[in-house]
Amino acid sequence: MLEFSSLCVGRLNNHLPLKLFLSPFQRFFDANVFKEIEKDRLIIEHAVAAFEKGKDRTEVNLDKLFEMTVKVDNKFLEKLSNPFFSIEMRYDDFAQVRKKRMISIVNMVFDLLCNWNCESPFADIVKSTYEEKKYREILSEILHLYNVETRLLNNSITVRGPAGTVKDFFSERVFVIMEETARDIAVTYARKAYVDKGRSFVGRI
């Protein structure tokens, strides 16, 4: 997620109008990526706990997990202070998209844990679980759903001043760049697993 965010920002900054529009929100973007990492960590740990208890992946309580992510969002909003914009989360706008992303992450966790070996490099576990194309598709889907949620979140953001009149125009361009970056990141990390031959970190719970 850190590399995805950094690459997105770099590409957005290559477009001067976007750079000028987004510069007041840089603090927000930087903090937001760590918020998303925290939510992903919660989803992964929740899935691991369910697996270790012998539960089926379909028994993972998505509603409970969703509420846990909402608490992370709320803490983020409490700390957020910016004179240029305000956010009032409209969870109904993107709840289903977030839950779909949760399912993708939970499924990946269960798939990988079925082949888990604490002595094996993570890349070897991935390769014993998925074909490269499938792994790339899963990574791409997880990032795509994040991008869709981010675009829907646009409805929750109120931008003050002249920038508010162009927010919707720029948000679509931002989404296109995020989608391009998601595909590139998915390709890069799939290649790392299937080409690096064990040089990635050793898996452990």
Per-residue pLDDT of the chain (205 residues; tens, 9 = 90+): 999 988 988 888 787 666 666 665 566 667 778 899 999 999 999 999 999 999 999 999 999 999 999 999 988 887 766 666 667 778 888 999 999 999 999 999 999 999 998 889 999 999 999 999 999 999 999 999 999 998 888 766 666 555 555 566 677 788 899 999 999 999 999 999 998 554 444 444 4
Q: Which residues lie below 8 Å from residue 149, measured CB to CB, with a gap of 6+?
A: 94, 97, 98, 101
Half-sphere exposure of 73 (CA within 13 A, CB side): 16
Which tokens in the block code for residue 85? Answer: 């914009």
Q: What is the model's pTM?
A: 0.84
Residues forming a β-bridge with 158? 86
End-to-end CA distance of the chain: 20
Max CA-CA distance within the chain? 57
Please tell me the predicted confidence (pLDDT) of residue 150.
87
Stated length of the chain: 205
Please tell me the predicted confidence (pLDDT) of residue 154.
73
Please tell me the predicted confidence (pLDDT) of residue 89.
77
